[in-house]
Amino acid sequence: MQKSAVFTGSCTAIVTPFLDQHIDYERLRKNLDFQYENGTSAIVVCGTTGENATLTQDEHNEVVRFVVNTVGQRMKTIVGVGSNNTLSALQKAENAKAVGADAVLMVTPYYNKSTQRGMIEHFSYVADRVDLPMILYNVPSRTGIGLTAESYQILSQHPNINGVKEASGDLSLMVNTRSLCGEALNIWSGNDDNTIAMMALGAKGVISVASNLLPAVVAKLCTLCQESDYLAAVELYRKYARLFSSFFIETNPIPIKAAMKLLEMDSGELRLPLTQISEEHLASLRAAMRDTGLNV
């Protein structure tokens, strides 16, 4: 069963700008416009980079509604609905459907340490009840558990499960998943530094942190890969490799918000338990930005 991808190319996991413990919607609007103007295909709202874990349910619902209405038809809107509570994930997915989102992104349940069977039932429970394309999210470094290629094969048979944001960094897992699932499961890179390799293996693009700051660069990187011009893609990536790595010098989204602030793209405050970047890491981040020609 071949499934049309929710999007191809570059998708930005957008930061949530906070101001005095509230969401700065005017800044968020400017950031969304900036993404559209620079070639971004889709937006993930309320993902890891958007500090979803520290949003109240009311805030989650409101920011999703705002992003869907602001983006309109310009880009796809994908809503992070992941939770270690299946019913909570369902409620978020229902809200995403109600306000007109294009898809949901659902991370593997964290802390509970579910089995593969438990994860399959967790995703299927929501997919059975919300008629909206679902993108699975596999990031074992965050959640402590990861999906296998065999689990992907089972989940790929569900008509509402469109694909996976694969952020394990395990290229062998991707190869095995492609072998078992074929076109029944779309794959996107979940790491900026894996984009070229994964697109060479059949990924449809990237769900990116770096594109918060450099959307045109990430969009161009994806376009070059889509055109199979991998030599040019590698050359472009080499210019930004150190900077992309610096975005993870501390826990995401601490560095990307700091980098945006250095370029006067006010990304807002962080919410506890996340704290401001250390002076040592800030200096390293600034140096990496200058190496790419950014004026900081």
- Residues with Cβ within 8 Å of residue 22, at least 6 apart in sequence: none
How far apart (Å, rounded) are the C-alpha atoms in residues 45 and 50? 6
How far apart (Å, rounded) are the C-alpha atoms in residues 222 and 188? 11
277 DSSP 8-state letter:
P
Set 137, 152, 237, 240: catalytic member: 137
Tokens in use for 163? 């694909």
25: annotated active-site residue: no
Set 165, 204, 220, 257: catalytic member: 165
How far apart (Å, rounded) are the C-alpha atoms in residues 45 and 63? 8
137: annotated active-site residue: yes
What is the SS3 assignment for 42? strand
Give how far Cα 42 sits from Cα of 4, 167, 255, Å.
Answer: 15, 18, 22
How far apart (Å, rounded) are the C-alpha atoms in residues 222 and 5? 15
CA 200-10-229 angle, to 5 degrees, is: 35
108 DSSP 8-state letter:
P
Which sequence positions are flagged as catalytic? 137, 165
